[in-house]
Amino acid sequence: MKETVRLNGKRAIFFDVNQTLVQQGLSFEQCFAEVWDDYSARWAAEDRPKADLLWEQYITRWQQRKKGRTTFKQLDELQQQCLREAFEVLKIPASSGALRSFMQDIRRLQVSAKSMAPLTAKTLEELSRTYRLAIISNSPRSEVLMMLQRFGLESYFPEERVFTAQKPADKKPAPYLFKTALQTMQLAPRQALMVGNSWKHDVCGAVKAGLDAVWLHPGAAGPSAESGDKKISQQRLGKRKVYLIKQLDQLPQLFG
């Protein structure tokens, strides 16, 4: 990679959420086990299936379903169906409302264990004065909205600018979410920039859709954050530019 120059002509910036704006706390599996322990605590120990057994039944169905086509309108509906089938196999009684609450509790626990990346709010405030900001995420919409609300970021990302997959085939790096965001916001690909931590999902997905991208990669080789050297490097991926940053607060340098 070589040192970058200014990036001009942009009207909007798209962000991933997890590990970009918000840092991971507990894994989905850890939250699943904790919620199950609470859910089943009232039962006698000998009547209570182990969390790892229920998880195995759930994740097997999830992995099978997410690879194929699905008629479910939302990913969270697919998650609830996989959970329902896992409960049925283990002969665990549960209503539709209980299953929905189970998944909601998992998301709440995940969100509560997350933390906002350093200088996120300050960076978004600075960028929002000039650019429209939007979210493009593979996470369930309800989880994304919950995180934005918890960290006070909803003013930067109104709901009409939060784009999430409705079925597995729509998830990044597929072009669907990028094209939907561009069409909804009436932008040409060259007018938007994607920022995310995943080379495969965020960078390659954006480039395939015709966008330039910023790869947020704290562990990248090069000057350390502690050194005070915040040079941004760039490379070309096909016809698009990809910029590498180690900290989110480097973003405004691209537009300065």
Instruction: Kindly report, residue by residue over 39-87, the tens digit of the pLDDT.
Output: 998 888 787 899 999 999 999 999 888 766 554 456 778 889 999 999 9
Helices (H), the chain: 28-39, 51-67, 75-89, 96-112, 120-128, 141-150, 176-184, 205-208
Instruction: Kindly report, residue by residue over 95-150, the tens digit of the pLDDT.
Output: 999 999 999 999 889 888 889 988 999 999 999 999 999 999 999 898 899 999 99
Indicate whether 1 pLDDT > 70.
Answer: no
CA distance 40 to 180: 41
Residue with tokens 């049925």: 88
CB-based contacts of 251, cutoff 8 Å, min separation 6? 13, 123, 127, 195, 214, 245
Domain 2-23+116-255: assigned CATH number = 3.40.50.1000
CB-based contacts of 96, cutoff 8 Å, min separation 6? 80, 84
Q: How many CB atoms lie within 10 A of CB 182?
A: 22
Three-state SS at 115: strand
Q: Encoding tokens for residue 177?
A: 């979410």
Does residue 171 contact residue 191 with C-beta atoms inside 8 Å? no
pLDDT > 90 fraction of the chain, expressed in percent and rounded: 65
